[in-house]
Amino acid sequence: MDATQLRATARRHLGPHFTRKDTWAGEFPVFVRGEGCYLIDTEGRRHLDGLAGLFCVNMGHGRADIARAAGEQAAALGYATNWGTAHPPSIEAAELIADLAPGDLGTTFFVNSGSEAVETALKFARQYHRGRGEPDRTKIISREMAYHGTTMGALSVTGLPKIKEPFGPLLPGVRHVPNTLGVTGDHGPAAELDCVRAIEAAILEEGPETIAAVFAEPVQNGRGALVPPDGYWPALRELCDRHGILLVSDEVICSFGRLGHFFGYGLTGVVPDLITFAKGSTSGYAPLGGVIVREPLVAELYDSPLGGTFTHGSTWGGHPVATAVAVANIGAMRDEHVPEHVLAEGPALSDALRSLRDAHRCVKDVRGTGFFYAIELMADRDGGRELTDAESATVLRQVLPEAFRRTGVLLRGDDRGATMIMVSPPLVADRDVLSELVHGVDGMLTDVEKAIQP
């Protein structure tokens, strides 16, 4: 089938994810091949994948070694469970992750996605506290505008009202607190910051004895790549320790090199109780997620009077092919020093993106670190005019999609709390690719300014 036929068949039979009806009715690209940092469509046009798929294709497209690992594993053992049995790729993947994870985070429960990872962390936290004789610890604290997934439990923890509204009522007992927007760098003692005081106030208002866990991302995706201020994560750790609360670092985006480190610990300096991961663990070559748990907590759960079993699992959790892909992907990332590459090239990418702020009146702010950024837009920075709702819709639904096509650089327009462009290239992008990326963003911003008068 040619592109026209493929689109027609997709419109009839394929259900799109988070896609507007008018977008699905348009001339959306159909990709047939990937090479390095590029996607090739049915017409043979190359598109720079500036979002690394969905923040996941960290090692780039078309890696023969990763594909070979999947094929060889499928031929040798296509399926076996981790329900009372095991297989070599899941064992090897768990050991590799334990070697790279900070502190005593040494046990991985594999699932299939980031949402399932968050769901697993929720269930572990509840069962852990129940096993310790604290069954009232069921409540969760997370941050406003934070995205933690789409399954009903993970959606409950998510702090984005627009995507939650169609599905209420959700899980009770989730309290959302202010995020770190506008608070960066050194602002004095972190415990005195309003965004930290608000967490402690929520804990005290709800009752510390009722709180199971605090969920936070090392760099929050929702509301646009929010890098925490100095001391923020140590303050979270201290609050959780003082009140007997588990600290969950949601690293579905941030882990496996996105910030220049295998895990958020490299940025925060804090060992959490649980880490959720997905995306970059396989660079998108197979569905895989998981939760890494501190080994003493796992021992407590299994040894508790109500324990013996973590009452949770799935058919595909720790799938042989997916975990074999993870071993190949993470091993290559380690051996090729990919996180170090991000640390080396990230500052130049940051500087280049921030220079666009000075060059374009439509840029309000640029936030992020490593290979993970958000460009927040407004109508006129010099005049202090924000985009109207109608202008925002025009930018997100018309200007940016057309700019992506025109420049050949694929990014993501984001409307979660502001009008933004998200930037998240494959971690193997070299200086030439990053230069092409920045040039594309420059053109997009020019298109925005042409469409939106000051």
**Residue 452: phi, psi to the nearest 5?**
-115, 115
**Residue 395: phi, psi to the nearest 5?**
-65, -50
Q: Would the pLDDT of 307 be above 80?
A: no
Cα(284)–Cα(279) distance, integer angstroms: 6
Q: What percent of the chain has pLDDT over 90?
A: 97
pLDDT value for 186: 83
Side chain identity at residue 391, one-letter code: E
Query: Nearest 5°: CA angle at 275, between 341 and 260?
Result: 10
Q: Is 382:233 a contact under the CB 8 Å cutoff?
A: no
Q: How confident is residue 184, by pLDDT bands cut at 50, 70 and 90?
A: confident
Q: How confident is residue 185, by pLDDT bands cut at 50, 70 and 90?
A: confident
**pLDDT 10s digits, 229-268:** 999 999 999 999 999 999 999 999 999 999 999 999 999 9
**pLDDT 10s digits, 390-400:** 999 999 999 99
Cα(327)–Cα(117) distance, integer angstroms: 18
Identify whether 272 is preceded by a cis peptide bond (ω within 30 of 0).
Answer: no
Average pLDDT over residues 44-57: 98
Average pLDDT over residues 362-389: 98
pLDDT value for 1: 85
pLDDT value for 395: 98
Q: Which residues contact 326 (CB under 8 A, 6 or more apart)?
A: 89, 93, 96, 97, 281, 282, 286, 288
Tell me the DSSP string of 48-70: EETTHHHHT-TT-B--HHHHHHH
Query: Nearest 5°: CA angle at 260, between 222 and 401?
Result: 45
Q: Which residues contact 201 (CB under 8 A, 6 or more apart)?
A: none
Q: Which residues contact 169 (CB under 8 A, 6 or more apart)?
A: none
Query: Nearest 5°: CA angle at 307, between 126 and 141?
Result: 10
Residues in the chain, total: 454
**pLDDT 10s digits, 313-367:** 999 999 999 999 999 999 999 999 999 999 999 999 999 999 999 999 999 999 9
**Residue 34: phi, psi to the nearest 5?**
-130, 140
Average pLDDT over residues 180-202: 93
**pLDDT 10s digits, 112-125:** 999 999 999 999 99
Q: H or E stretch including 367?
A: strand 363-369
Cα(321)–Cα(96) distance, integer angstroms: 16
Domains delineated in the chain: 3-62+337-451 (3.90.1150.10), 65-335 (3.40.640.10)
Cα(268)–Cα(289) distance, integer angstroms: 22
Instruction: Give CA separation, 115 vs 157, 254, 306, 432, 454, in Å.
Output: 10, 15, 26, 34, 40
Question: Would you state the structure tokens that stand for residue 370, as one six-digit string?
Answer: 């490593």
pLDDT value for 143: 98
Q: Is 393:407 a contact under the CB 8 Å cutoff?
A: no
Q: Would the pLDDT of 80 be above 90?
A: yes
Average pLDDT over residues 415-426: 97
Q: Would the pLDDT of 436 be above 80?
A: yes
Cα(79)–Cα(179) distance, integer angstroms: 42
Cα(399)–Cα(390) distance, integer angstroms: 12
pLDDT value for 53: 98
Cα(287)–Cα(325) distance, integer angstroms: 9
Q: How confident is residue 227, by pLDDT bands cut at 50, 70 and 90?
A: very high
Residue of 79, 453, 9, 12 lying closest to 286 (CA atoms): 79
Beta pairing partners, 36? 61
Sheet holding 31-35, edge to edge: 31-35, 38-41, 46-49, 409-410
